[in-house]
């Protein structure tokens, strides 16, 4: 049986955090690791590298968007019971400071609304200095 169906979202992400379940393949493409999980909140470590550079030498916007989508989806997932799936229907990302390759950042998100079929969360990517490098929000539709 698919582990994502066996566990609540909170249990599932905690199993990924403690290593009893594998992280997603995307977590290897966009290096990210779950470091904190609680109901309605998650935090990840993220680390862009040379694979994520755009043609101008900066970290590609898709890196930021993937991280914001992952963390907001993770926060939302913690609110869902076993057997309930979801999908992102809206993603908004603001990139305000450049990420640097081979530096580790904290990416954290929190649920802001929980409806019957639609949940929303906000997230941010933060540097060691406490400065926000990107922030955004996502809305996810519950799929039963």
Cα–Cα distance measured from residue 21 to residue 17, given in angstroms and rounded to the nearest whole number = 8
Under 8 Å between Cβ of 48 and 31: yes
Q: What is the pTM of this model?
A: 0.95
CB 134 within 8 Å of CB 95: yes
Out of 3.40.50.2000, 3.10.129.10, 3.40.50.11890, 3.90.230.10, the CATH code matching 3-143 is: 3.10.129.10
Q: What is the pLDDT along the chain (144 residues), one digit of tens a residue?
A: 456 678 999 999 999 999 999 999 999 999 999 999 999 999 999 999 999 999 999 999 999 999 999 999 999 999 999 999 999 999 999 999 999 999 999 999 999 999 999 999 999 999 999 999 999 999 999 997
pLDDT of 5: 75
CA distance linking residue 46 with residue 100, whole number of Å: 11
> What is the DSSP annotation of 70-89?
HHHHHHHHTT--TT-EEEEE
Rounded CA-CA distance 97/115 in Å is 32
Domain boundaries, the chain: 3-143
């Amino acid at each position: 049986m698919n582990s994502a169906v066996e566990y609540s979202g909170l249990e599932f992400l905690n199993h990924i955090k403690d290593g009893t379940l594998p992280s997603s393949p995307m977590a290897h493409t966009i290096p990210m690791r779950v470091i904190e999980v609680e109901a309605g909140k998650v935090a990840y470590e993220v680390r862009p590298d040379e694979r994520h550079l755009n043609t101008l030498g900066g970290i590609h916007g898709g890196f930021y968007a993937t991280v914001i989508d992952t963390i907001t989806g993770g926060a939302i997932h913690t609110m869902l019971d076993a057997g309930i799936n979801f999908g992102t229907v809206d993603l908004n990302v603001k990139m305000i400071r450049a990420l640097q390759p081979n530096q580790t950042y904290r990416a954290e998100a929190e649920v802001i609304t929980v409806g019957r079929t639609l949940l929303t969360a906000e997230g941010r990517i933060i540097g060691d200095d406490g400065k926000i490098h990107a922030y955004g929000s996502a809305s996810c539709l519950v799929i039963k």
